[in-house]
A and B are shown apart, each in its own frame.
Chain A
Amino acid sequence: MKNNLRERKISIHTIAFSYTFLILFTLVTLFPIIWMSYSSFKSMGEIMLHPIGLPKDFTLDNYKKCIEYGNMDYAFLNSIIYSAISTLLIVLLSLQAGFALTKFPYKSRKVYGALFTTGLLITVNSVITPLFIMETNTGLYNTYLGVILPYVAFGLPMAVLIASSYIRGIPNALIEAAIIDGATYQQIFWKIILIVSTPVIATISVLSFLGSWNEFLMVFTLTSGDDMRSLPVTINSFAGRLNQDYGLQFAALVIGTIPMFIFYLIAHNALIQGFGEGALKE
C-alpha cells in the first residue's frame, strides 16, 4: 500500500529523466573503455582506416609485443610488491595508532591526532623535492623501501582516521576484562583489537591497495631503474602519448586496467563501502 502510494506520486517525466540521465552517463563512462579494449586487437593499419569499427582482422600481436619488449612482467611484480607490503604496513600501523589514540587516557593523544589529520591536506607534490633530496642522501633512492615508506606515510592519515573511529566503538569493558586477566597491551592488540576490527581492516586494505597500485609520481621520481618501475610508470614510458603505434598502446592500457578490474569485481562492495562510509564519517 505504501509502495503504491509512492509510485503514484512519481511522474512519468521523473522516471524518463532518471533513465536518460543514468544511461547517458553510463554510456559516456563505459564507451571509451570498451573502445580501448577491442581496439587493442586491431593492427595499426586497421585503426588508422576504421578507428571505431570492431576488429575485422583479430590479432594478438600488440599483446605479444607488449609482453616481449614492454617490461610488463617486472612492472607487474613491482606493483604487487609496492602495494602489498605498504598495505600490510598501513593496516598494522594505523590500527596500532588508532588503538593508542582512542583507548589510552593521555592528553598528548589530541596533539598526535591533530597532526595526523593535517596530513590529509598535504599532497605528494608539496614534499617531493625534499623527499628526493633526503632519499638520495640516505641511499634509499631507487630501492623498494624508498618507495614503500612514502606510500605508508601518505596512506596513514586517512587510515588512522578510519581506524580510530572504529576502535573508539569497541567497548572498554572488553579491554578492562583482559587486563584483569593479566594480558599486556600488546597481547590485547593482537588478540582482541585486531580480531574485532576485521571490517575496518577490509576497508583500509582495499583503499590502501588501490591507492598504492595507481600511484605514479613517487615511483616515477624516487626510482630510476627499469627494474624498479611500477605498472603505471612502465606503461607511461613504454606506451606514452608520443608513441605512434596505437594498437600497441591500447594493449598496454588494457594490461594496465585488467588487474584493478579483477580487483574491482572481487572487492567492489568493500571498495564502495570504503569510499562511501569509511572515508567520510561526519
Chain B
Amino acid sequence: MITDRNKKLSYLSLLLPAFLIYITIIIFPVIVSFGLSFTDWRHFRLKGFVGIQNYIEIFQDPIFQIALKNNIKIMLLSVFGQIPLGIILAYLLFRKWVRGSQFFEMMIFLPITISSIVVALLWNRVFSPVGIYTAFIRTVTDNPDYVVKIFESEQHAIVPVLFVLLWQHTSLYMIIFIANLQRIPKSVFEAATIDGASESMIIRKIVLPALTGVIYTCSVLAIAGSLKSFDLVFAMTGGGPVHYTYVMALYLYQQTFTFNNYGYGSAVSIIIVILSVGLITLFQRFFEKVSKKYN
C-alpha cells in the first residue's frame, strides 16, 4: 500500500522536472531582467545602478517610437484583420457551400508549416524588381519600369510586412474557428433553417454567440503574439530601410547582441512584458463590458 509520504514524493517527482526547467529558463530570467533593467551593464561589465534612466532613454529614442508604432499596427492587424478573416474563411468552409472544402482547408493552412525565415525571404523577393508583385503591377499598369516604392515611406513601409503576417497566420485562426464551429450541434442549424431564418440571422444569433469565448482567447493570443514578431521582420527587411520597419523585439535584439548593452536591452524586454500583460488586462475589461452589453 502507498503511504502518504510516498504519494507526496511521487507527486513531486512527476511535477518537478517540468516545473524546474520551466522556472529556471523562463520565470527566473524575467526576474533577472527586471533587476538588470535598472543597471548600466555593457560589454560584460557592470557599471552600476542607474535607476529608471534606461526606461527614460528608451522612450525618448525615435527608433523605439517607430518600433512601438509598428508593433501597435501589427497588433491591430492581428485582432481586426486576421481574426475576422479567419472567421469568414472558417464559416465558408464549415457550411460546405463549395466542393472540396477539405482541399481548400489544407492548402490555406499550408503556410503555417513554413519557417518564418523562408516566408520572409520569399516575400522579400516577391516585392523585389524580379518579383511577381512587381511583374504583376507592371503588366496591369503597362509601366515596365515600375518598382516597389512603398518601403521608402516612413509611414507605410510596414504595410508589406503586415500583408505577409496576414498571409501566413490567418489560417491558424481559421482552423481554430472551424474546430469550434463543429462543436455547435447540427440540429441547431437545421431547426433555424426550417424556421426560415436568414443566413445573417443564423450568423448573428447562433454562430457569433457560440464563438464569443474562442474569439476572446484568440484575441489574447494575437495580442501576445504581435509583440513578439521578430523572425519575419529580421529576415524580410532587417528593420530597414532606415528604421522604418523596426519592431520592439528587433530593437531589443540590436541593443543586446549588436551593442552588448545588457541593462538597456533588459529594460526593453521588461517593457514588452508589461505591455503584453497590460494590453491583455485592458482587453479583458473591454471584452467583459461588451459581452455584458449584449447579454
Contacts and interface: CB of A to CB of B under 8 A. Distances in A.
Contact of B228 (A93, A94, A125, A272): A125
A119 B176 CA distance: 21
Contact of A185 (B10, B24, B106): B10
A119 B124 contact: no
B267 to A, nearest CB: 10
Interface string A234-268: 01100111000010011001001100110110001
B199 A14 contact: yes
B115 A214 contact: yes
B230 to A, nearest CB: 6
B206 interface: no
Given A51-B132, A124-B228, A112 B10 contact: no
A241 B113 contact: no
B8 to A, nearest CB: 7
B273 A241 contact: no
B130 A18 contact: no
B36 A97 contact: no
Contact of B106 (A115, A122, A268): A268
Interface string A127-143: 11111111000000000
A33 B168 CA distance: 12
A51 B110 contact: no
A21 B190 CA distance: 25
A47 B130 contact: yes
A162 to B, nearest CB: 13
Interface in A162-214: 179, 182, 184-186, 189, 210, 213-214
A127 B269 contact: yes
A130 B266 contact: yes
Contact of B110 (A5, A210, A240, A264): A264
A21 B92 contact: yes
A45 to B, nearest CB: 11
Interface string B206-227: 0000000110011000001001
Interface in B3-43: 6-8, 10-15, 17-19, 21-30, 32-33, 36
Contact of B130 (A15, A51, A123, A240): A51
Nearest to B240: A241
Nearest to A30: B107
B74 interface: no
A179 B257 CA distance: 53
A193 B274 CA distance: 38
B113 A264 contact: yes
Interface residues of B, number: 103
A124 B234 CA distance: 15
Interface centre among A31, A124, A272 (most CB of B within 10 A): A272
B122 A32 contact: yes
A228 interface: no
Contacts of B21: 93, 149, 152-153, 156
Interface string B111-148: 11111111011111110001110110000000000000
A61 B151 CA distance: 32
Most central of B89, B108, B237, B277 by chain A CB within 10 Å: B108
Interface string B85-120: 000110011010110000011111111111111101
Contacts of A279: 176
Contacts of A30: 107, 110
A271 B116 CA distance: 18
B159 interface: no
A275 interface: yes
Contact of A241 (B218, B236, B269): B236
Contacts of B276: 121-123, 126
A5 B104 CA distance: 26
A60 interface: no
B262 interface: yes
A104 interface: yes
A9 interface: yes
Contacts of B265: 129
Interface in B160-212: 167, 171-172, 175-176, 178-180, 190, 193-194, 199
15 contacts: A2-B190, A32-B122, A33-B111, A51-B132, A52-B135, A99-B14, A100-B12, A112-B15, A119-B27, A133-B262, A241-B121, A260-B115, A275-B112, A276-B175, A282-B217
Nearest 9 A/B pairs, CB to CB: A276-B179, A185-B10, A153-B25, A123-B228, A130-B29, A100-B15, A93-B18, A127-B29, A97-B18
Given A6-B190, A264-B113, A275-B176, 8 more contacts: A15-B97, A19-B98, A96-B14, A127-B29, A214-B115, A233-B117, A260-B114, A272-B109
